[in-house]
Amino acid sequence: MQNIPLAERIRPRKLAEVIGQKHLIGEKGTLKTAINNKLIPSMIFWGPPGVGKTTLSNLIAQELDRPFYTLSAINSGVKDVREVIHKASSLGLFGKNIPILFIDEIHRFSKAQQDSLLGAVERGVITLIGATTENPSFEVISALLSRSQVYVLESLSKDDLQDLLERAISQDEVLSKQNITLKETESLMQISGGDARKLLNILELVVSSVDDKEIIITNNLVVEKAQQNIIRYDKNGEQHYDIICAFIKSIRGSDPNAAVYWLARMIEGGEDVKFIARRLLILASEDIGNANPTALVIANNCFQAVNVIGFPEARITLSQAVIYLACSPKSNSAYMAINDAQQEVRSSANLSVPLHLRNAPTKLMKELGYGKDYLYSHNKPTDSQEFLPDEISGNSFYKPSNNSKENAFKEGLKNLWKGKYNY
């Protein structure tokens, strides 16, 4: 029993035991309803690592009493997919009884591998469940995506993780026989990054490294034991998420040397070039923005290029783009502007569009004043015209950062709006 990892030993045996994801499997959850009706669609589970994608897939097959096949996109090819489909076809099952094929990390399947699934899904030979940590809009072919329901799995909350730890020490056959006290859990949660599997691995590692009859889990104990052995568990997951984080922070911090180093770590580790290039696209808007609008153009061109040329030459294109982005002036004003605007929308609900800004395609709408008094901005100054709802007139969502490009924006807006916005 001790040779089986803790995360596997306390894996839920039924849906009611699953921690988190109540929006899907709670009493009114959409997935729970589909399971109760004994008829589920092909689906893609999208969410961070360690939130229950594999567990849910197994439990769905168990609840529906269906044959269950599983493949990992890391080590499976078209031949493996066809063999499973052949096995499923030979069973001659239809409707509510057709086999379920679970594909872990489906985003790592090539287009050809995904294409090999299409016919079986369309004919109802299998029900597909794919698991991915990447946005399926980018990684799953449109034909397969249109035939699947995408379910977003949420990160586990602090309370969820606490419940998981308490369940482990009270119900696990090994840990429940030991005298373990959870005095402090902040470090456990912080090092695990919200990944339930990683959390349990760290807990097991810490417990197994203490010889005392009474084991008191404290932050200091976790840091001491986990840092000594951090490479032992979930190496791929840690590299994937921790290194990309260091990579992004290095570019944001304008350190091209560190950025290229972390890029090299990812390349040597076999990271997906599209994953790296997509992160550069996000960073170009979130961290550079209008301080250097060309950054987004460079990042987009890089994304297109690496998709065309592939490894090993793509490393050169990535290096060029990374160095350019790291050396660019930084601004998060566009990122903050949309955050603030969305927060305003959530708090003030649906404010009416001012009459002079409304569309007036019919005679009645014109009679009601739609579009009346609108000043065409190319013909007349706009400073006397209001474009926001009256209730939030004068709100500044966009706050230019201090860089040459946005300083020019700032001066232009000051001159145009004559003190209306506080720049």
pLDDT for 227 equals 64
> Ramachandran region of residue 270, left (φ > 0), alpha (ψ -120 to 50) or beta?
left
The tokens for 164 are 């998981």
pLDDT for 245 equals 85
410 vs 228, which has greater pLDDT?
410
The alpha carbon torsion through 149, 12, 207, 228 (nearest 10 deg) reads -20
How would you class 288 by CB atoms within 10 Å of its CB: exposed for 0-12, middle for 13-18, buried for 19 or more? Answer: buried
89 vs 45, which has greater pLDDT?
45
At 292-350, the pLDDT tens digits run: 999 999 999 999 999 888 778 889 999 999 999 999 999 999 999 998 888 888 888 77
Contact 73, 38 (CB under 8 A): no
Domains in the chain, CATH or no CATH each: 20-152 (3.40.50.300), 158-229 (1.10.8.60), 235-327 (1.20.272.10), 353-417 (no CATH)
Sheet holding 68-72, edge to edge: 68-72, 100-104, 127-132, 43-46, 149-152
Helices (H), 212-272: 219-229, 235-238, 244-252, 256-268
Contact 153, 51 (CB under 8 A): yes
pLDDT range class, residue 233, cuts 50, 70, 90: very low
At 101-155, the pLDDT tens digits run: 999 989 888 888 888 899 889 888 999 999 998 888 878 888 999 999 999 998 8
pLDDT of 21 strictly over 50 = yes
Average pLDDT, the chain: 85
At 173-227, the pLDDT tens digits run: 989 889 999 999 988 888 887 888 889 989 998 998 888 788 999 988 988 887 6
pLDDT range class, residue 275, cuts 50, 70, 90: confident
pTM for the model: 0.60
pLDDT of 68 strictly over 90 = yes
Lowest mean pLDDT among 191-195, 238-242, 366-370, 384-388: 238-242
pLDDT of 397 strictly over 60 = yes
